[in-house]
Amino acid sequence: MTTIYNRELSWLQFNDRVLQEARDPTVPLVQRLRFLGIFSNNQDEFIRVRVANIIRLAELKSKKPIRMTGGYTPAELLPLIDGCLGESRELFRQTWDATRTELETHGIRLVDETGLSEEQLAFCRTYFANVISIRLVPLLLRKSVEIPFLGDGKIYLAVKMTSGASSRYALLQMPVSEACPRFVVLPSAPGRTDVIFLDDIVRLFLDDIFFMFPHDTISAHTFKIVRDATLPLDDDVSKSLSEKMFQGLSKREHGRPVRLVYDETMPPDVLETIARKLGIRRPQRLQPGGRYHQMRDLMRFPRVNPALEEPRSTALLHPRIDPRESVLGVIRNGDVMLFYPYHTFNHFIDLLREAAVDPRVQSIHITLYRTAEHSKVIHALLSAAQNGKSVTAMVELKARFDEEQNIDNTDLLQQGGVKVVHSEEELKVHAKLLLIERREGNSLRGYVYVGTGNFNEDTARIYGDIGLLTADEAVVEDARKVFDFLQNTHKHPTYKKLLVAPYFMRRQIETIIDEEIRNARRGKPAWIHAKFNSLTDERMVRKFYEASRAGVEVRLLVRGACCLQAGVEGLSENIEVRSIVDKYLEHARVIIAACGGKPRSWIMSADAMTRNLERRVEVGVPIRDRAIHATLEGYFAIQWADNTKARRIAPPYHNDYVPRPDDAPAHRSQSELYDYFENLHHESPENSPV
């Protein structure tokens, strides 16, 4: 047995954990629909990125066989992936059907174009005329004409019109947008809510759309294309990275099809016509499915019954931060740690807004990876620049699927007087770092935020992340060095406190593990508790194996892909890996180590992945405040005790839930963490450990 588990297969098992949430009867019903949407979105991105890459590797002509994690060649791995994808699709279909049936017991019906009442038909006609038809562009398919460009991730109807023995084909792209949502709530009988897909309203009026073409019958069948998401950048040195990214985005949209997903009832001649015009010749790239595709739209299913949704908790105020007082003043008096989504992200926004208007603040430096669509962070930075501050933003253009947003952010910030810096093409800046410099007396005092998650007020409501606010002089000096490096990448400074990738973080983490190995061999307390999104770096996996063999107890919380095989005799008996999938997306990265009986802890932006440690700028920070460290230990302990949403990740990889003895109470960590922080807040601010 290989000691390294395959990354792609492990990731697929993670997505199956998402599907488990959609099948869990204890999850509110409409929330289960949203998990189906998350699963579908994840699956599409996996095909666009990972499967597309493996296909490219399989097609390479190489004398030496290419080996993926786990020892597979790309050609060997592809059928295994296809098998897993097929099993998941079938389970998705069963879950979708069962959920629809259960929705009906609560008076929510997903209806199609057949069997609508007269009132509903009249509503659909008006809705089609006023909302849909003005956004529809029918495209005829002619034998002698190339197929028009069909975008990735769009929903299309393939229309077939027959007149006698002849047939005519056309395409309709569903104009899904905020103004034209995928799901439409219909006028309904008392005590009932009928919801219809946008696709089915369009089917109702096919005759109206194609009235100019005589036909005896007309039908429409859904399909979508999943394209290779690789972003091609040319090597023209005369172009800026922004120009290359903009052109690359256009090329990505025209990436080759990896999958054609189609309604399995689509007539063979229609499927053959579309596949031929798209240049899809391999049968394995054709994927039959149900009547509806692009099911990620279930994430935006209308809120028709709050009782069937996950209750929303109000984000807590940090006990040391009064919204009417200076956040900088609070940080000046001691470190503060924020835990999202339990704490409000408004504290961070308030910090930026305060810095924007404080006459003593001289400069602001920040890294931006993913921001909200209408970002309060961006607005605060613009306000700071307009107030005469020196504002520098490192905007990462290469944040996958957020490239266009970040190009727009670049333009907006530059127009507002902000200095925008972009990373080199080979280096992605994934750090979550803020530095504010304020004139205090005869010197500049720095204030730093180091986080595990993006400066994004939208995701901060649903992602479990951590951020440290500090005025520690050594951390401030290190932060200055990081921002200097980002603008002068030929410099490789050393750091006193911060863990910084790509040049130092790996060695720093290995040093932490090595210390535990030495302590275990000396008979001292030796353990490591760590949390990552993914653990796929082989060198890091082998370092954990070394720790296990030395007798170090290793507890790992890994939400996504994990190439480490836990609990294997002679290799990893002392390692246990768990994964929590629940209402919030677990996103924080944490390391806590025994350190010979005086435990220490760190938070960081990096996962234990080769790309994060070697090809990205990442930043982590040690926790110096003992009370905050104790809170972080409590945070991890609560998550480790989860016996409701935690799964054990070990061979044979069945996503088994952590067992709960019959007489043991249920523990759901995300609910208990809210109570944990709320109870801490009832203590006096002076003694608060957060």
Residues that are catalytic: 430
Identify whether the C-beta of residue 19 lies closer than 8 Å to the C-beta of residue 95: yes
Structure tokens belonging to residue 646: 């935690």
CA dist., res. 362 & res. 356, Å (int): 9
CB atoms within 10 A of CB 242: 18
Instruction: Determine the Cα–Cα distance for residues 291 and 33; give it in Å rounded to an integer.
Output: 17
Distance between CA atoms of residues 219 and 271, nearest Å: 13
- Strands 361-368 and 390-395 turn out to be parallel
Residue 666: what are its φ and ψ, rounded to 5°? -75, 140
Nearest to 590 by CA among 526, 631, 636, 627: 636
> In 3D, which of 110, 17, 25, 112 has the Cα closest to residue 308?
25
H-helix or E-strand containing 339?
strand 336-340
Is the C-alpha dihedral spanning 110, 115, 116, 117 positive or negative? negative
Q: Coil, strand, or helix at residue 437?
A: strand
644: three-class secondary structure by DSSP = coil
DSSP assignment of 267-304, as one string?
-HHHHHHHHHHHT---GGGEEEE-S---GGGGGG----
User: Nearest-CA neighbor of 354 among 328, 335, 377, 334?
Assistant: 328
CB of 528 within 8 A of CB of 594?
yes
Backbone torsions φ then ψ of 112, nearest 5 degrees:
-115, -165
Show the 3-state SS of 444-506: EEEEEEEECCCCCCCHHHCEEEEEEEECCHHHHHHHHHHHHHHHCCCCCCCCCCCEEECCCHH
Contact yes or no for 616/502 (Cβ under 8 A): yes
Question: What is d(CA 499, CA 608) in angstroms, rounded to the nearest whole number?
Answer: 13
Q: Which helix (H) or strand (E) holds 311?
A: none
Q: What is the dihedral of CA 82, 87, 93, 97, to 10 degrees?
A: 180
